[in-house]
């Protein structure tokens, strides 16, 4: 046994094998029970950090466990690529938001692949891609036409630095998770289903 684990050589060879054999690509198989594993869609406003690794390692373990049970597992990676945090980061870095977003997606995809997660990259979705959001808009329009969506004022968590609304989970000890600014309660018109 060698005294050192030569991770660059070994992991690169294994990842090449997975890609060549399309190990994690799902195919239609009516004989197998289906299992869909979708972890939180990351915001591509920077590079991966250990919080991402923790989150996606958990989803990956669940997907691999279901795979070992013989299920037909689809574990895609999607990118939550619309929003002010990405736009603000692009402005701060003096880059066009689309360029910033797609560069970060490319970097994060490479990082995720290097971690060896079992994603089916043939089912990747990017929310700022017109081929995706056109269907969101179509669906919203149908809901609106049926009277199933409405607009009213609502109290939100407002980050005055990022100039964006935060989910409750993004407020930590009364401060914005990204900016660290004290979060304000603000009335803003919102859409509801």
Domain match, 120 and 179 both: no
Domain match, 48 and 87 both: yes
Strand order in 184-192's β-sheet? 164-166, 150-159, 184-192
- Over residues 173-178, the mean pLDDT reads 93
- Determine what percent of the chain is predicted with pLDDT higher than 70: 99
- Determine what percent of the chain is predicted with pLDDT higher than 90: 81
Question: Is residue 1 situated within a structural domain?
Answer: no
Look at residue 15 and tell me whether its pLDDT is greater than 80: yes
Domain match, 159 and 80 both: no
Cα separation, 42 vs 124, in Å, equals 12
pTM, full prediction: 0.81
Give me the number of domains the chain comprises: 2
Domain match, 62 and 96 both: yes
CATH of the domain at 103: 3.40.50.620
Question: Is residue 93 situated within a structural domain?
Answer: yes
Domain match, 45 and 106 both: yes
138 band by pLDDT with thresholds 50, 70 and 90: very high
168 band by pLDDT with thresholds 50, 70 and 90: very high
Helix (H, G, I), strand (E, B) or coil at 121: helix
Cα separation, 157 vs 103, in Å, equals 29
pLDDT in tens, 80-121: 998 777 787 888 899 999 999 999 999 999 999 999 999 999
Question: Is residue 175 situated within a structural domain?
Answer: yes
Eight-state DSSP code of residue 43:
P
Domain match, 37 and 86 both: yes
Higher pLDDT, 6 or 54: 54
Domain match, 111 and 164 both: no
Structural domain boundaries, residue 162:
149-192
Looking at residue 185, its pLDDT comes to: 97
pLDDT in tens, 55-84: 999 999 999 999 999 999 999 999 999 877
Domain match, 124 and 154 both: no
């Amino acid at each position: 046994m060698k005294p050192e684990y030569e991770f660059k050589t070994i992991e690169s060879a294994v990842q090449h094998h997975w890609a060549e054999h399309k190990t994690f690509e799902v195919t239609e198989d009516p004989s197998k029970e289906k299992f869909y594993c979708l972890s939180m869609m990351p915001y591509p406003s920077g590079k991966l950090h250990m919080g991402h690794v923790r989150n996606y390692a958990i989803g990956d373990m669940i997907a691999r466990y279901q795979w070992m049970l013989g299920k037909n597992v689809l574990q895609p990676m999607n990118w939550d690529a619309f929003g002010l945090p990405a736009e603000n980061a692009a402005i701060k870095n003096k880059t066009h938001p689309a360029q910033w977003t797609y560069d970060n997606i490319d970097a994060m995809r490479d990082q995720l692949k290097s971690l060896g997660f079992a994603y089916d990259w043939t089912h990747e979705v990017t929310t700022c891609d017109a081929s995706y959001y056109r269907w969101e808009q179509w669906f919203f329009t149908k809901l609106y036409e049926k009277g199933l969506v409405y607009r009213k004022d609502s109290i939100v968590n407002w980050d005055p630095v990022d100039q964006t609304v935060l989910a409750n989970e993004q407020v930590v000890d009364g401060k914005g998770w990204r900016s660290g600014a004290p979060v304000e309660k603000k009335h803003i018109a919102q859409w509801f289903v």
